[in-house]
Amino acid sequence: MRAVVPLLALLQPCVCRYAAVQQHESSRSATAVHTEWAVAFATEADDRRFWTSEWSAIEAELLELQAAAGSVDRKPKNAAFMQFTNSSQADAAPKRHSPLAGIKLNLNPKSAADLVPALAMLKGLYEDGKQRIAQLNAKEQDYKQHHTEKEAEHKARTAHIASQNGTVSEEFMANETRDENRLWSYWERVRERQHRQFHTSLKIQHATLEKVKKMMDMYEKTIAGKEDSKQVTKDLAKVSGVVMPEVVLLQGAWSDAAAFCSEALKELRAAGTELSDTVDA
């Protein structure tokens, strides 16, 4: 019995040190997890503000393009997309100048000069779209870089948890592993949504620019008079989808653009709906 007492006395410092280490690690881990979740939620909020701004700008231009063709009211009220976000996020979205602002198209031109305002509007829309595509690509690269950094942090934390084997309890390690996997799963879902938003916006932008470019070419040829009437009629028909007299073809081209805008708006708003929901933690 007397031999047991010295043994317990020898073990006591080890037990105390073990408990102290676990308490320290637990406290440090809790702080790190809290900080990381704060970063994650802030990132999601930033994403929502960015895409609110992007989708609102794209929607506004599509609506203006429809309005230019006379298919909807010139100044639409209660734009549907902004219903997906709260007022503070809407206020935070930067105001963008529309290349269509103040433009009234002449859809029954009597001369080439009557086509100039429409061509100017289309060129403005085309340049604005090219800039947005460049911005979207840059944003996607930022997203990729951020995700790569988070993946490296996840692997480092996972390795650190494994290195604690034998110095902390199995329960503590299990809890640490669970919390880390939950956090990483959240980051992966955030990245998946970022890529979906990027892919949809890029698809709409490229399709819009393709439509606008065809109409620009049509207007430029007509204004310059460099093509014979048969070739112009053929080019106009490619845009409108029908073979009609030249003036009616211009109107048909705008009608076709308005129909495209309607479909693009449906896709845009479907993507925007996703922003109204937070990523599950």
- C-beta atoms surrounding 168 within 10 Å: 20
Q: How far does Cα 44 stand from its chain's mean position?
A: 12
**What sign does the CA torsion over 271, 272, 277, 279 have?**
positive
Residue 260 · residue 66 · CB < 8 Å: no
Per DSSP, the three-state class of 168 is: strand
Residue 180 · residue 157 · CB < 8 Å: yes
Residue 232 · residue 243 · CB < 8 Å: no
Which pTM value belongs to this model? 0.72
Amino acid at 12: Q
CA distance 101 to 127: 15
In 3D space, the residue among 76, 77, 82 whose CA is nearest the CA of residue 53 turns out to be: 82
Long-range contacts formed by 180-183: CB under 8 A, 24+ apart: 180/154, 182/281, 183/33, 183/36, 183/37, 183/40, 183/154
pLDDT in tens, 113-152: 778 888 888 899 999 999 999 999 999 999 999 999 999 9
pLDDT computed for residue 191 by the predictor:
96
pLDDT computed for residue 10 by the predictor:
47
For 32-171, where are the E strands, in sequence order? none
pLDDT computed for residue 71 by the predictor:
42
Amino acid at 121: M
The residues pairing with 35 across neighbouring beta strands, listed in sequence order, are none
Instruction: Kindly state the DSSP code that residue 113 receives in the 8-state scheme.
Output: G
pLDDT computed for residue 259 by the predictor:
87
Amino acid at 227: E
pLDDT computed for residue 21 by the predictor:
46
User: Burial, 88: exposed, middle or buried (Cβ in 10 Å; 0-12, 13-18, 19+)?
Assistant: exposed
CA distance 117 to 113: 8
pLDDT computed for residue 87 by the predictor:
45
Which positions of the chain have pLDDT values less than 70?
1-29, 69-111, 225-250, 278-281
pLDDT computed for residue 272 by the predictor:
85
CA distance 214 to 207: 11
Q: How far does Cα 218 stand from its chain's mean position?
A: 32
In 3D space, the residue among 180, 179, 160 whose CA is nearest the CA of residue 168 turns out to be: 160
Lookup result for tokens 């949809």: 200
In 3D space, the residue among 42, 54, 72 whose CA is nearest the CA of residue 261 turns out to be: 72
The residues pairing with 102 across neighbouring beta strands, listed in sequence order, are none
